[in-house]
Amino acid sequence: MLKFVNTDVVFQEIPDEVTLAINLSGCPCRCPGCHSAYLWGDVGTPLTTTELDRMIAYHHDITCVALMGGDAEPKQVELLARYIHDRHKGIKAAWYSGRTVLSNAVDSRNFDYIKIGPYLAHLGSLRSKRTNQRLYRVNQGKMQDITNRFWRS
């Protein structure tokens, strides 16, 4: 079962969205230099649909929910994204994955945004033009790379 440790409303993770970022624990990626190593363990509170409904109701001005992690259970992440679309019309669903490729078990059509790629310190985050990470806008299953939205001239 997916567990979350904390949440925050953020403005930089998904361009043009007011995003509720939900930090999921149990990360199997363990990227060197990870700024969220506390998420590696099996800690936190189960992320049920009831808990998700509560969070969205409390943060009523959000336009997107980003599931940050969950790489140990990609199908569960997808099911939550589909639930967000079915239950909370108008709220977009995003996934930040540390994997280098999207799991074959996941249907990208259930997401509006997907970030893939582990954090590699020497290449930098999404803000770096050298980054290996990519953020995609998903439209009917087609993934459009929008990583350059993070780069300043």
CB-based contact 132:1 (threshold 8 Å): no
- Percent of the chain, pLDDT > 90? 82
pLDDT at 90 over 70: yes
Indicate the range of 11-15, 92-96, 121-125 predicted with least confidence: 121-125
pLDDT category at 73 given cuts 50, 70, 90 is very high
Q: What's the pTM value of the predicted model, to 2 decimals?
A: 0.95
Q: How many domains does the chain have?
A: 1
The pLDDT value recorded for residue 35 is 77
- The CATH number covering residue 40 comes to 3.20.20.70
- The pLDDT assigned to 116 comes to 96
Could you tell me the residue range of the domain that residue 144 belongs to?
3-150
Tell me the pairing of strands 113-116 and 134-139.
antiparallel
Direct distance between the N- and C-terminal alpha carbons of the chain, in angstroms, rounded to an integer:
42
Over residues 14-49, the pLDDT tens digits come to: 999 999 999 999 988 887 777 788 888 899 999 999
For residue 82 the two structure tokens come to 């589909």
- The pLDDT score that the predictor gives to residue 153 is 61
Distance in angstroms (rounded) separating the CA atoms of residues 70 and 22: 10
